[in-house]
Structure 1
Amino acid sequence: MAPNLQTTGPLRVFVTGATGYIGSTAIDLLLHKGTTPSLYSLRALVRSPKKASLILPLGIEPILGSLDDLALLEQESAQADVVLSFADADHLPSIQAILRGLSQRPRPDGGRKRPILIHTSGTGVLLDNAYGAYGTETIYYDNDLAKLNSLAPSQPHRNVDLEIISPALVGLVDTYIVAPPTIWGQGTGPGNHTSIQIPLQVRASLLHSQAMQLGQGLNVWSKIHVIDLAHLYLSLLERALQEPQDDSITGTLPKNQDAYYFCQEGEDFSYGDVAKEIAKAFKDLGINDSGTVRGTKPEEESALWLEGAAGSIGGNSRSRAIKAREILGWVPEFKDFAGYIHDEIKRQLKEQGRRR
């Protein structure tokens, strides 16, 4: 369904993180829709002329700056109908600046009265401190508002998310939070095409020529392919634009204090499962014939892993995307998670110039 823009020209969209893994893939998908040039006018924050050169040929106007340029973020947001936030999920000052700008945006007669913020968080907000020692039966559903409201402010990303779901924004800004789990697959578009979590485990394993896991690898996560995730962003954007602009009419799309949208596909996995796939691939590739996995203790982390490994792949984080499926009609398509792990090993070997 084409969005009802209720404006006299293209919708003004300001993007942060447009050349990152998620943002690049979502923007690429958006640009491949034939109606995009007439419906959307895109501006994107970029940190360098090199990154600007990636998006300028695509018809996106680059704005040089960083998330620390708060006055610039506020100014750009105040001129936007929509802000798509794909950048750092933990950069609180930038989100505060974006929200200030959106809240101050003029509310024109006949135009879009309430701007939209679609922000990227992550299901790190659900994490425990298992360090691979145990799994969990605890699953968070994005339509269980009471349980989501019980998340502590100290959880990862939560301080930023709390700004976005503030009751003070109701009626001023329509806010939505997309919280992906482990993201896998090769991205597309004008920028980074590589994920974080699985590549981190593969990189540590290649460094030691041994499949590696934190602790016993029993901790469990949900997962999603980056292209399926990008489709969710577009579905959410198009549906959000259908929300009524008459303040006396209540819309039907959950937002603001009910802003979370999860995006999971298929069965959950343990990071021990990933280590076993790495061990299998190492045996096939002649890197390590043992087919075994090495579990590391917390005190070994700094010596054997890249910084932040425990926070990325050590705990449990299980989520279910009820809203996306039931309200947006979103259906993920990519299934070959194990194949991706093997492909990621080969990609990193090629990147390192190692032949197998």
Structure 2
Amino acid sequence: MTGKTNILLFGATGYIGGSVLNRLLQHPNADNFDITVPVRSPEKAKLLEQLGVKTEIASLSDHDKIESLASRAHVIFNVANSDDLPAIVALLKGVRKAYETTRQPPILIHTSGTGEIAELADGKYATETVYSDLNIDQLKSIPPTAFHRNVDLAVIGADEQGYARSYIIIPGVVEGIASGPVFEEGIAKRVSMQIPSLIKASLDRKRSGVIGPGKAIWPYVHVDDTADMYTVLLDAITANPQSAGHGWEGYYFAENGHISYYEIGKAIGQALVDLGFADNAEPTPFTDDELVNYWGSVFLGNFGGSTCRCRADRIRALGWKPKYSSADLLAILKPETELQWKIAQEKGEIDFSYERSLSVLFQNAIASS
């Protein structure tokens, strides 16, 4: 690859995507990057341009624009919706055009999630199945109806057909308050979804909550460690394309251990007590009415009681060294609780509109899988 590297990044206004953009802007080779970011907001586009990023006003439903942008990119980071199959189809059409023009397969780094391997456990147990991203047969055995799977299979299919080099990063519960220029300018969302939603619900009910007894466990990873994965992977591909598996060998789990929802709930409960919002740190089960109130449906609310385990073997082999432990994750929950309370005070309410809107998206994603 000669000249500047044309990088196309979807999801720059999001939690992980904004963190990835920060890493690219601070990369040692940043002067050789020509970064383009599609955004829906003209105001945020102006702020991004002040950081040295090119922008295009477009949403994931603007399929012609997505195809056109992808047709000119050397490297594509998709850190936006991991369940929008029509958008991925449009993106892959552009990738195919790029390949037909240059005869060089573009690099596509797609973001999925460990919901793909989750078991619905209602918080009653921790799965014994552990997925390794080095176990290809195990990865191939994931049913095509699994969450995120239809999009992942389309991405892998492009690699199998030879017109893309595909890599799929699959984080567990991503946590931490994001920082850096993209967040300081108010461009991107600073917090994740799963645990902040639990914090908001716990603030509203004045008692920490869990699904069932909270025995379900998930892999966790800090947002900074997650963002580091993208540049570790990009650097490995750039230095030696053969060193980084792609296609079916291009699954990259993101985890630095596992944690139970009871442990998370207990830490949120202690934060509530410390901050004077509750008098008991012990979490109690959410009722069905609460699940509907906070998450829009019992089904989506109960997803917080699902369970999965995985090992990020492949990215560690490339030199990824996560810094944040489970103790760090639990320590973050008090400042996150303070932040959510501050946001609620500014809005005049604890706002669950985002969580409720996800119920429709979640059901649509399941239906299309």
Q: TM-score, normalised by structure 1?
A: 0.90
Of the structure 1 ranges 274-283 and 141-150, higher mean CA displacement relative to structure 2 is found in 274-283
**Contact (CA 8 Å) 2:133, 2:253: kept in 1 or not?**
yes
1:310 is aligned to 2:302: yes
Of the structure 1 ranges 231-240 and 251-260, higher mean CA displacement relative to structure 2 is found in 251-260
Query: Partner amino acid for 1:277?
Result: A
1:347 is aligned to 2:339: yes
Q: Which residue in 1 is equivalent to 2:144?
A: 153
Matches within 5 A, 1:144-223: 144-166=135-157, 169-188=160-179, 189-190=181-182, 191-223=188-220
Q: Secondary structure at the match of 2:239?
A: coil
1:289 is aligned to 2:269: no
The 1:163/1:201 distance shift into structure 2, 3 A limit, reads same
Q: 1:11-69, CA deviations, whole angstroms, 9 ceiling, x for partnerless residues?
A: 111111011100101110121124202x2101111011022123111111110010001
CA distance in 2, matches of 1:304, 1:239: 42
The 1:104/1:215 distance shift into structure 2, 3 A limit, reads same
**Contact (CA 8 Å) 1:261, 1:323: kept in 2 or not?**
yes
The 1:305/1:167 distance shift into structure 2, 3 A limit, reads closer
Of the structure 1 ranges 63-72 and 161-170, higher mean CA displacement relative to structure 2 is found in 161-170
Q: 1:151-175, CA deviations, whole angstroms, 9 ceiling, x for partnerless residues?
A: 1111111110010111664421100
Q: Which residue in 1 is equivalent to 2:14?
A: 20
Unaligned runs of 5+ in 2: 183-187, 347-369
CA distance in 2, matches of 1:306, 1:270: 23
CA distance in 1, matches of 2:159, 2:168: 16
The 1:72/1:195 distance shift into structure 2, 3 A limit, reads same
Of the structure 1 ranges 345-354 and 21-30, higher mean CA displacement relative to structure 2 is found in 345-354
Q: Secondary structure at the match of 1:221?
A: strand
Displacement of 1:306: 5.2
**Contact (CA 8 Å) 2:40, 2:57: kept in 1 or not?**
yes
Q: Which residue in 2 is equivalent to 1:115?
A: 106
Q: Which residue in 1 is equivalent to 2:260?
A: 270
CA distance in 1, matches of 2:253, 2:100: 30
Displacement of 1:129: 0.9
CA distance in 2, matches of 1:219, 1:85: 29
CA distance in 1, matches of 2:99, 2:140: 31
In percent, how many aligned pairs have the same letter? 34
Query: Partner amino acid for 1:285?
Result: L
CA distance in 2, matches of 1:168, 1:333: 32
**Contact (CA 8 Å) 1:228, 1:334: kept in 2 or not?**
yes
Query: Partner amino acid for 2:331?
Result: G
CA distance in 2, matches of 1:299, 1:320: 35
Unaligned runs of 5+ in 1: 1-5, 245-250
Displacement of 1:133: 1.5
**Contact (CA 8 Å) 1:166, 1:257: kept in 2 or not?**
no
Structure 1 residue aligned with 2:68, among 64, 71, 75? Answer: 75
Displacement of 1:108: 6.3
Query: Partner amino acid for 1:11?
Result: T
Structure 2 residue aligned with 1:330, among 314, 317, 320? Answer: 320
Displacement of 1:143: 0.7
Q: Which residue in 2 is equivalent to 1:3?
A: none
Q: 1:155-209, CA deviations, whole angstroms, 9 ceiling, x for partnerless residues?
A: 1111100101116644211000000000011113421111111101001000111
The 1:120/1:344 distance shift into structure 2, 3 A limit, reads same
**Contact (CA 8 Å) 1:133, 1:219: kept in 2 or not?**
yes
Q: Which residue in 1 is equivalent to 2:123?
A: 132
**Contact (CA 8 Å) 2:99, 2:105: kept in 1 or not?**
no
Q: Secondary structure at the match of 2:168?
A: strand
CA distance in 1, matches of 2:55, 2:159: 31
**Contact (CA 8 Å) 2:159, 2:166: kept in 1 or not?**
no
Query: Partner amino acid for 1:329?
Result: G
Displacement of 1:294: 1.5
Q: Which has the higher helix share?
A: 2
Aligned-pair Cα RMSD in Å: 1.8
Q: Secondary structure at the match of 1:241?
A: helix
The 1:297/1:351 distance shift into structure 2, 3 A limit, reads closer
CA distance in 1, matches of 2:40, 2:301: 26
Displacement of 1:297: 4.5
CA distance in 2, matches of 1:197, 1:71: 32
CA distance in 2, matches of 1:309, 1:49: 34
Task: Give the count of matched residue pairs.
Answer: 336
Q: 1:273-319, CA deviations, whole angstroms, 9 ceiling, x for partnerless residues?
A: 111111112222221112232102556521354553333x2200211
Q: Which residue in 1 is equivalent to 2:358?
A: none
CA distance in 1, matches of 2:8, 2:309: 31
Displacement of 1:100: 1.1
